[in-house]
Structure 1
Amino acid sequence: MLMKCLPAAILITGLLYIFFIPEEPLVIKIIFKVIPMLLILLYACTNVGRRDRYQSLILLGLFFGMLGDGLLIWFVIGLSGFLIGHLFYISAFLRLWTFSWLRFATILPISIYSTWIGREIVHSLIEKGEYNLITPVVCYVTVISIMGWAAFMTGNAAAIIGGVLFVISDSILSWNKFIDDVAFSGPLIMLTYYAAQFCIANSIRMKPSFHLSKGLKSERPIQ
């Protein structure tokens, strides 16, 4: 029963935060911001799909993502929380590695995209004189790109969708924060972010299912 109610609760609390919670007082806003993540964490904990190291790593990733959420008012600290969370996601996804040449080839567009957006952000930071942010931002772009690619290599549809949505969310956030205003950036960032975390949490119960061709895959996951 709890598993059936949690997705609806996550959706309702997420929409409540995105569209109805005011900017002030800040403490209330932060509390409502992390409530959907607490519910996603609970959803992952109660997920009956598996009880193994993969679940533990995903739970740790979700936890540090939640910390990043709450601490993002101190940008570098919040960014560090998300970065640590992505490292746990990478570790989890590598445990489900299921080789496919087509999925492996996604490293090329991911690398091109991350290099492009990373350069745009760095140029903007240099123009604004915010040199202290260059190293943490470059590190984060690198790590989230690896996370996105590792998600593809799982062959797990939920993990793949979650990884892609996370990259989209952070791309909107970084472009809006460092380069230029993005219309409706707030709702777009949080909708894709909550959806990404929910999909990653849901990957615990799903087996690899994103095989494009029998001739281009291996069913053997890394243990």
Structure 2
Amino acid sequence: MTLLTSALPQDRTDRILLIASAILALVYLVDTFGVSAPFPLNVVIKATGVALLALYAVRQKHLVLGAGLALGALGDVFLALDQSVLPLGIAAFGLGHLVYIWLFAQWRFKAGARGGMSRILALLIAVLGLAMLNWLQPHFGELRVAASVYNGIILVMAVLAILGRAPTLAMIGALLFVVSDSVLAVRLFAGELDWAGPVVWICYYLGQAGIALGLARAKLP
């Protein structure tokens, strides 16, 4: 609780943006339980919550972070549309993670290593991620290359978040993003975990929010 409270802004407009984002995320969560909003309102609700996080980052003059979050919001739009634009959704999220990789790399190489058990945790995440990627290969179909590259990118992002001295909230956000994408991949490509929609959304939104709140106002040494 102290970690989250310290990351919350004092500025009234910033607080309104974050509260509005959280409310929209909650509305979309209710939507996933069957209280469905009509199309395209459901798409607007889904994407706007993350878009407001991007706006919050921009207001903190963190334009690079804002760009990464905006790419996530764009990916939300593509994933909510027809399956034919799924590759565009993967591309948008992949570019967003490349932005996060750059940010976490800055913390790793300018602020130093996190130390402690971080190397063991990073290795564990990498091994589990590669094992899942290998298991899902037969299910990727025509998206085999794109999905494999994307999964490699998010693993690199998570490993850098763990190894570097990025704010703890941002690291937790990165790990939640990995959980969300892992469950989504199993559901989307393997056709399993039909019940996992709310889990995917909760972990995804909290992941984006953790990265946004963790990095937006943090200053590199």
111 and 20 in structure 1: CA distance in 2 versus 1, 3 angstrom threshold: closer
Q: Within the alignment, does 1:64 sit opposite 2:71 as a pair?
A: yes
| Aligned residue number for residue 182 of structure 1 | 193
Identity percentage over the alignment? 27
> Could you list the runs of 4 or more consecutive aligned residues of structure 1 that deviate by over 4 angstroms after TM superposition?
21-24
1:198-220 per-position Cα deviation (integer Å, ceiling 9, x unaligned): 11111222468xxxxxxxxxxxx
Gaps of 5+ in 2: 1-11
- 1:182 is displaced (CA, Å) by 1.7
Residue type at the aligned position of 1:202: L
Residue type at the aligned position of 2:45: F
Aligned mates of 1:16, 1:146 — CA distance in 2: 32
Match runs of 1:1-223 below 5 Å: 1-20=12-31, 25-47=38-60, 51=61, 55-72=62-79, 73=81, 74-97=85-108, 98-101=112-115, 102-125=117-140, 130=141, 132-155=142-165, 156-182=167-193, 184-203=195-214, 204-206=216-218
1:100-134 per-position Cα deviation (integer Å, ceiling 9, x unaligned): 44323433112211111101211333xxxx2x111
| Higher RCO (Cα < 8 Å, 6 or more apart) | 1
Determine which structure has the larger helix proportion and give its number.
2
TM-score, normalised with respect to structure 1: 0.81
- 1:19 is displaced (CA, Å) by 0.9
Aligned mates of 1:158, 1:207 — CA distance in 2: 14
Aligned mates of 1:178, 1:20 — CA distance in 2: 22
Contact kept in structure 2, 1:57 and 1:91, CA below 8 Å: no
